[in-house]
Amino acid sequence: MNNKNNKLIKISEVIYQTSLSRSTIYRLINQGLFPEQVKLSTRSSAWVESEIDDWIKERSNLRRFGGIHYYGDNK
């Protein structure tokens, strides 16, 4: 990992990078399908940018192999 990707990013940047809504991000975290946030203080959290980058790359790779189903999809 290079130092640029080790930085912590806030929820607004995670939303921007993934195009997911805040509620979808937290739902995916609860389902174990999205990187967990790092607690910075009682009222502040952030994500490791490299983990978000890896999640995006994984999603991109999955489309080549038939995709992934979310939210209990049985398709």
pLDDT (0 to 100) of residue 61: 85
Six-digit token string for 24 = 């979808």
d(CA 14, CA 18) in angstroms, rounded, equals 6
Model pTM above 0.85 = no
Residue-wise pLDDT for 15-58, tens only, equals 999 999 999 999 999 999 999 999 999 999 999 999 999 999 99
Predicted local confidence at residue 75, as pLDDT: 45
Q: What beta strand segments (E) does the chain contain? A: 8-9, 38-41, 44-48
Residue 67 tokens read as: 């995709």
What pLDDT score does 6 carry?
87
Could you tell me whether strands 8-9 and 44-48 are parallel, antiparallel, or unpaired per DSSP bridges?
Answer: antiparallel
4 pLDDT exceeds 60? no
